[in-house]
Homo-oligomer: A and B are copies of this chain.
Amino acid sequence: MTIGAMESSRTVDSGGGRRQATRQKLYEAAVTLIAEQGFSATTVDEIAERAGVAKGTVYYNFASKSVLFEELLRHGVGLLTASLREASERTAREGGSKVDALDAMIRAGLVFIDRYPAFTQLYVAELWRTNRAWQSTLMVVRQQAVAVVEDVLRDGIAAGELSDEIDIPLTAAALVGMVLVAALDWQAFQPERSLDDVHAALSRLLQGRVGGERAGRG
């Protein structure tokens, strides 16, 4: 995990990048532990130990355990959103269709999950909880990611490439879920499969080539 690459080393701290490096180590330790055990079951002592720093250092760098977690969330979803948007724009630049863009975003999603599996686990596990401190953070951050997919769907309809009867938010959610669950299952239960395999299976589903001869192409 390299959840934390966007911090610049020049902003507030005058003592070089030492502090950023510590925060980075804490992110990495926290994301793994929380993905495995959940937020409440993970102790600050564990995080500190895994990061190789003292417990006090955690509180020197973050106001609380929850704040550490929230910053982790914002950071990770930021990376995902950027990756999805990049895939969509690259496709457009290369003259691909909107379906091609969706396909490229599926792949980008898979690459992300393959690279940051722990973060993905943690995100899914917390997303639909209620009554938690970081619920609002999570909703904002979710909407950013889903919006990228929704935009492509909207453009596809506007261009007449997609049926204007599709339900944008529901379809976007379903697509995200398809990728999310398939990828997590891949990681957890069939890690030997290649990314291309998984991509091919999802691509087929997206493009309605599940039915035999009669449904898809002619």
Assess whether B212 is in contact with A215, with CB atoms less than 8 Å apart. Answer: no
Give the A interface residue count (CB, 8 A): 68
Of B131, B177, B215, which contacts A36 at CB under 8 A? Answer: B131
Contacts of A200 in B (CB 8 A): 167
Count copies of this chain in the complex: 2
Contacts of A164 in B (CB 8 A): 212
- Say how far A167's CB is from chain B's closest CB, in angstroms: 4
**Please, how many angstroms separate the alpha-carbon atoms of A198 and B177 in the complex?**
14
Which partner residue on chain B sits nearest A103 by CB separation? B217
- Say how far A158's CB is from chain B's closest CB, in angstroms: 11
- The segment out of A7-15, A16-24, A202-210 that lies at the interface is A202-210
The answer to the question of A94 belonging to the interface, with a C-beta cut-off of 8 Å to chain B, is no
The answer to the question of A160 belonging to the interface, with a C-beta cut-off of 8 Å to chain B, is yes
- Say how far A204's CB is from chain B's closest CB, in angstroms: 6
Do A182 and B188 form a contact, CB below 8 Å, given A208-B215, A210-B206? Answer: no
The answer to the question of A180 belonging to the interface, with a C-beta cut-off of 8 Å to chain B, is yes
Assess whether B204 is in contact with A209, with CB atoms less than 8 Å apart. Answer: no
